[in-house]
Structure 1
Amino acid sequence: MAKKEQVRARDRDRVEVGALLDAALADGQLTADEHATRTRSAMRAKFTTDLDRLVRDLQVPGELAGAAILGGDRRSRPWWIPVAVLAAAAVLGGGVGFVARNDPAPGIAAAVEAESETEALPNLLTADGLTYFIDTYRQEFGDTVIDTATVYPDFLLVQRLVGGSARNFHFTAEGFDEVGVEVPSNADGRPIDLADIDLTTLAAVLAGAPASVRLEQGAVEHLGIGFEPIAPADAGPVIQIFVEDPAGDTGHLSVSFAGVPLEVFPAR
């Protein structure tokens, strides 16, 4: 009997499987360890059969039961799927753009002009705000490489390695000020290039983040950009998105620089 031809997995296939795994964690079908292991396998999967094996024992939403990534019949029922995950999948399916490494990103001139007119910093928890920061960082240091960063709406803490030594900066509307407070980092010397962030997809993820962590009345409170402490050595940097609602309830999720969801921790 001839061996069945393998079909290469798409980014969108990996995102859909990630959504299923996230929902299975929230639904109690998977433990946190099982979820982390399967999610990392999904992000590295080359073929649809590899992805299918990761969700074969899970219940799936009816609208995805016939997807190419799913093999065989499964019991279908309504299932919560993170809004940010679906938004990212939609953007991935339609094509994405990255921040230019050498030239300012499209539209940055308008952002800079608006900044000079209003003397106010763009909200750094938006794609436009991050675009503004990345371009300003490039102008200040000559590249877009960092060690780690923590992002709030109106200021940012960033660590940069210079000659093997960490230098920490506080970024506000007034620009960069070097500070003595160290930003915790797990990079171990591995460079992080902000130009690798897919800001188009990230904008969709940020918009859906409150619903993704089941805090529909919440808002993104801050971001963490860097390497995770328990991730494999070959894992790339991630963006952690922290959400809080008016009642003080919190949840968070992490995505790759390409906007692919890795883990979702809904509010309990």
Structure 2
Amino acid sequence: MANRQTAGTRAKDSDRNDTCRILDSALADGQLSMEEHRTRVALATQSETLGDLQSLISDLQTANAPVQLPDLKRRPKLPAVAGGAGWGLRLAVAGVLVAFGVGIGWGLYGNTTSPLSFTSDPGAKSDGIPGKVLTPPKQLQSLGGLNGLLEQMRQRFGDTMGYDMVIYPEYAVLYRPDPSDERRKLSYTYRGGFDDPSTQAKSEDDVLVDLAAFDVETAVGILRGAAETVGLNPADVKKENTYLTIDPTRDSTTPGELTLRANVSSDFGSGSVTFAGDGTVKRIDTVD
């Protein structure tokens, strides 16, 4: 009979995917904001143990979630060291590490006779290097920002291909194939540039398409009018609660085309407008 799993048990891809489904459920019923959801999903895809995954959902109500994580054994408590010797040992180790770090730093960068001599700071010397000011697109839900994001994709990857992309006001999340393993996909977060990716298992719904194959100006217009379209007061919708998803169409008669969805929410309801790449509206959903 297999032993019950503990917090230190290595997580499988299925465990990571189940955690993401639980987080999706928590977002849908209002337990998480979109920013919290995005952050936790990113952590879930990189988690190594079941304990790491459990910590991402421990404060959530998960009884109605579509899946559940396995119950974990509690880790046994370590016995206390007699006479308080444990704290003394920890302090001694900390002191050694600090001294070791200072010595390494001085050895690499110091120009004095001692690592504790700070009479001459090599970093204080003028190096004549001017500051380089970067101006990447940040307002991504505008015509210039969205076109700029797509151009950043071309510069970073050489194309605009991917499985799907989610575009928030100031950042985006992009999923692309993992060139080293066809069973997996890479998740890139864009914040003025594309960060190093995390990896996760690819699902059967992942279809590679050109994520730039849509009318950008029309998409921006639909996104900006989405609140009123679904019956919400635009003044009640916070900027961070508006986002655009770009996915491959599920219509087998038009392979390679895109389905876009403008999503909005407020304290008084939420909704979405689903449309094709040319702006043709497919459906309008409202949720009270």
Q: Normalised by the size of structure 2, how large is the TM-score?
A: 0.46
Choose between structure 1 and 2 for higher RCO, CA contacts under 8 A separated by at least 6 residues.
1
Q: Normalised by the size of structure 1, how large is the TM-score?
A: 0.49
